[in-house]
Homo-oligomer: A and B are copies of this chain.
Amino acid sequence: MPRYRALIAYDGTDFLGWQVQPGRRTVQGELEKAVNRMAKDPDPALKVHGSGRTDAGVHALGQVAHFDLPFAIPEEGVRKGLSTMLPYDIEIKQIQRVDDDFHAQYSAHTKTYRYRLTNREFRDPFRRNYTGYWPRRLDVAAMQMAIGDYLGEHDWQSFAAAGYQAKTTVRTVTRANLEQVSEDELIFEFTGTGFLYNQIRIMVGVLLEIGMGSRSVHDIPRLLAAKDRQQARLTAPASGLYLKSVDY
């Protein structure tokens, strides 16, 4: 069966995350409905495989997924057909025909996440669903000094959500950057060979504690060495997190 790779953006606000769940509105669920309608409801039902899950409220600028169709359709036809059938909070940015051995999850090399944070006294109505919100004053220079300690290969056990199960918690972060993009907004970006469940939001939470002075600017190496989830206290809100891109 011909295989297609899709580059997808979505506003996660009104989704219960990426993964199909019976009776819940999810991104994968909406995509599978559209792909099956395009293929005229074949039996068995066609599946859409993403590069990985995103949580409820988490957004994507460049999620990647693949699916097979029972017959070949030109790329532009697939893109327009799906775009017409999908709800307005999902966008198909690109469709490419790919080889049978391409797999959105297993072929992925690195992923880049962005985290947008609003730092002001009260929420901005227009950013409430698109940024995390933090009312306390932050020492951005201290956070920028600390963020480099995330770089490299580490065991991220201290940064995994409680109850998280994985064969290994060793991952490599190749880029970690924090920029103040306006008077009241910060943007964090992290690139790596994969991230544990909630890892980015916990990494941001630790930086917020450093920015408030409730954690030392040199604490990250100690925290990594501790391999203990109890040590990292804050998980930054889902609304600020974006899967920016997946590289193959």
Contact = CB atoms under 8 A, between A and B. Distances in A.
B10 A89 contact: no
A32 B45 CA distance: 52
- A10, A83, A126, A130 pick with most chain B CB within 10 angstroms: A126
Interface string A130-145: 1000000000000000
This protein's copies in its complex: 2
A10 B122 CA distance: 13
A68 interface: no
Interface size band for A: 10 to 19
Contacts of A9: 124-126
A85 to B, nearest CB: 11
A90 interface: yes
Cβ-closest 7 pairs across A and B: A11-B125, A88-B128, A83-B122, A89-B125, A88-B123, A91-B125, A11-B126
A97 to B, nearest CB: 20
Contacts of A128: 11, 88-89
Contacts of A122: 83, 91-92
Contacts of A130: 126
A150 B226 CA distance: 68
Interface string A84-109: 00001111100000000000000000
